[in-house]
Structure 1
Amino acid sequence: MENSGYKKFLELQQKDVDSVSGYISVESVPFSDYHKIGVSPDGFPLFFVKCDNTVSSIDINLELISVLFSQDCSIREKELDSEDIYTIVLLKTLNRDLQQYFTDVFSIILQQLVVIPTERELHKEIRKVIDLFSSISKPPVKSIQGLWSELLIIDFAKNPEYLISSWHVLPSDKYDFNDGKDKLEVKSTSKQNRVHRFSIEQLNGNVGSELIVASLFVLETGLGKSILNLRDSIISKIKNIDIHLKLNEIIYRTIGNQYEKLGDIFFDYQMAIDSLTFYNAKNIPNILSSNIPSELSNITFDCDLTSVSEIKTGENQFEQNILFLELGL
């Protein structure tokens, strides 16, 4: 990522911290001379944010994040000492993935703010970061295999940015991708047959929308690609920082307290790509909603797609469906 806060953080880690004099070695963030990034004596990343109109906000001290507002700080940068008032934002973990996530995401947020934000403006953005990291302490809402499969679809797409823009806001949403008109649902299996579980509601969509189901075989391997590998591949293809932020946000909201496994579990990438097949939901055997008694709800069923006719890519079947065109169908 250009102007990566994490890269600057790693550079600072190589320097000695002057703990005797009470100074922490810091440097300006790559995109601003006003805000600083540093490394705490415990090895934690922290930001010093210069603000206007300080209002004495209440400090925040959570499991992973601490925020100290309007602090008088003595800053030593490149052997020069200075004093100023900063808001200090600290991430309390040595986990490398979370450190990179925090430093890069907070750098994105700072770049989106005015050059010197008010404390009130900064407080609003900090709440977003706190919400993101709060989800990390919660149980996952989808399996690592399921999340990996969705990321593979984004990485495969002709326009990954459009797919991310259409990606579910909440992991529990009805469809994995929805651009406000058409829908894309991703189904994966580690078994030998192309059998997937559907809900009645998923296949009984609204009349004005098209629904496509992506199906793939996903096999866990000792070597292959992890979620972090796919994420990095996707990031190399996108330029919009808001899209970058959403990508990371959904990954961590989805995986919750299983985040330490993001780089440790690998799947056979080539097998998944070779097996990737798309189906028009209209061709998938289904139970019509009109045939279900009103007293029944939350109905799911397993369907074998082996004999269902698949969509042939490149046949221009979806010239009016942007989601599928950007996918590459």
Structure 2
Amino acid sequence: MSLLDVFLEIEIPKTENLKLFNATALSDFPFAKIGVNYLGFPVILISSKFDQTHLSQKNIKLKYIELTHNLECKVSENGKSKIDNFSVIVFKNNEETLQNYFLGIALSLLNSISKKPTQREVFETFKNFVEIFRSLTETPTKTIQGLWAELILIEQSKNPETLINYWHNIPEEKFDFNADSEKIEVKSSSNLERVHIFTAEQLNPPINCQVIIASIFTKQVSNGLTILDLLDKIEKRLTDIELREKIFRIVSKTLGNNFEQTAKIKYDYEIAKNSLRFYQHQDIAKVEKINIPNKVSEVKFKSDLTLVKSTDLTKLLVSGQLYKGI
């Protein structure tokens, strides 16, 4: 049962008290409970060893979350009430898909905490958690279509953990996936034509580098999959805690303050996965580096891949892990 399933079974308190929660203990995490406040918001409560760390730390209020250390709470569990002190994270939204996103990040947080954490350990672990949600107040760094296309490549891959490991830490990097001599650049098309915009650097890599272009059709529809749907499919195949945190961090940073609106946009899953093709950079028409003057930079151009022969990655003579993971 997922954290969302557990959360949805908890009855909302009828008393208008922000320090009163109905909660359920989490068997896998003896130090934590999942709860709900009277507004229907999901709450994570964490018990920790008192070490006075909270005295030097400020509580945090962001658009989507509130984080309070050493908060005295009244928790009702299985019909019995108890007053105790917890570190409390409240997610301030009633949208179920967004709540599931929050709880997915919370699960990564809980997995990275020891069974008997100190206040200091909890605070240090919270830092990454807070930064993920702080990103949701900032300017978006990439289009929703571009991010969706990158996620569909990860979701369709043989080894999503390998791809996430080499995924760009910041969306502005030149290549979407970079393993030094092996690189992947994802290009999407909403008009179902394989005409994409490239930078000169993407198709003119160093001699010892191979760049694979992943071309995907992304058609917006009313009954497709959202970013969060793809994220959910990918998560189920991940075991590495750090990679789980990385994918949440990149998604949050990419969507920024458009998160709530763009997280609802859907694209056709079948068209995307059936249209996925791979191309070697050597086969694509481009502006050759030798034709670019020394003082000219950031050269961009469109190139048509319609008549370019796609590449069978299983026949590529490569020794690295990135292409083997696709």
Instruction: Please report the TM-score for the alignment, with normalisation by the length of structure 1.
Output: 0.89
Instruction: Report how far residue 124 of structure 1 moved.
Output: 1.9
Q: Which amino acid aligns with 1:39?
A: V
- Is this contact kept in 2: 1:187–1:215, CA < 8 A? yes
Counterparts of 1:192-231 in structure 2, within 5 Å, are: 192-231=192-231
Instruction: Report how far residue 149 of structure 1 moved.
Output: 1.1
1:234 aligns with 2:234: yes
Aligned to 2:15: 19
1:100 aligns with 2:96: no
Q: Which amino acid aligns with 1:37?
A: I
Q: Which amino acid aligns with 1:208?
A: N
Q: Which moved more, 1:148-157 or 1:259-268?
A: 259-268
Instruction: Report how far residue 93 of structure 1 moved.
Output: 2.0
Whole-Å separation in 2 of the counterparts to 1:136 and 1:70: 25
- Is this contact kept in 1: 2:101–2:228, CA < 8 A? no
Q: Which amino acid aligns with 1:202?
A: Q
Aligned to 2:91: 91
Whole-Å separation in 2 of the counterparts to 1:286 and 1:194: 15
Aligned to 2:185: 185
What does the per-residue CA deviation read over 1:80-135, in whole Å, with 9 as the maximum and x for residues that have no partner?
33333222222222232332222221232122111122222222222212211121
Instruction: Report how far residue 175 of structure 1 moved.
Output: 0.7
What does the per-residue CA deviation read over 1:255-291, in whole Å, with 9 as the maximum and x for residues that have no partner?
2223234553222333223322211112222223343
Q: Which moved more, 1:258-267 or 1:42-51?
A: 258-267
Q: How many residues align?
A: 322
Instruction: Report how far residue 212 of structure 1 moved.
Output: 0.5
Instruction: Report how far residue 177 of structure 1 moved.
Output: 0.9
Counterparts of 1:120-199 in structure 2, within 5 Å, are: 120-199=120-199
Instruction: Summarize the Cα distance change of 1:236–1:87 in structure 2 as closer, same or farther, 3 Å threshold.
Output: closer
1:9 aligns with 2:7: yes
Q: Which moved more, 1:106-115 or 1:17-26?
A: 17-26
Whole-Å separation in 2 of the counterparts to 1:72 and 1:180: 51
- Is this contact kept in 2: 1:74–1:84, CA < 8 A? yes
- Is this contact kept in 2: 1:72–1:83, CA < 8 A? yes
Instruction: Please report the TM-score for the alignment, with normalisation by the length of structure 2.
Output: 0.89
Aligned to 1:37: 34
3-state SS of paired residue (2:30)? coil
What does the per-residue CA deviation read over 1:56-83, in whole Å, with 9 as the maximum and x for residues that have no partner?
1222223322222222333332233333
Q: Which moved more, 1:261-270 or 1:82-91?
A: 261-270
3-state SS of paired residue (1:51)? coil
Instruction: Report how far residue 320 of structure 1 moved.
Output: 1.4
Over the matched positions of the two proteins, sequence identity in percent amounts to 32
The structure in which a higher percent of residues are strand is 2
CA RMSD of aligned residues (A): 2.3
Q: Which amino acid aligns with 2:7?
A: F
Q: Which moved more, 1:209-218 or 1:88-97?
A: 88-97
Instruction: Report how far residue 220 of structure 1 moved.
Output: 1.8
Q: Which moved more, 1:148-157 or 1:268-277?
A: 268-277
- Is this contact kept in 1: 2:145–2:218, CA < 8 A? yes
Whole-Å separation in 1 of the counterparts to 2:288 and 2:14: 70
1:317 aligns with 2:316: yes
Instruction: Summarize the Cα distance change of 1:36–1:216 in structure 2 as closer, same or farther, 3 Å threshold.
Output: closer
3-state SS of paired residue (1:222)? strand
- Is this contact kept in 2: 1:37–1:47, CA < 8 A? yes
Instruction: Summarize the Cα distance change of 1:304–1:80 in structure 2 as closer, same or farther, 3 Å threshold.
Output: same
3-state SS of paired residue (2:325)? helix
Aligned to 1:64: 64
> Which consecutive residues of structure 2, in runs of 5 or more, have no partner in the other structure?
none
Q: Which moved more, 1:272-281 or 1:167-176?
A: 272-281
> Which consecutive residues of structure 1, in runs of 5 or more, have no partner in the other structure?
none
Whole-Å separation in 1 of the counterparts to 2:233 and 2:212: 24
1:251 aligns with 2:251: yes
Whole-Å separation in 2 of the counterparts to 1:263 and 1:257: 11
Instruction: Summarize the Cα distance change of 1:204–1:93 in structure 2 as closer, same or farther, 3 Å threshold.
Output: same
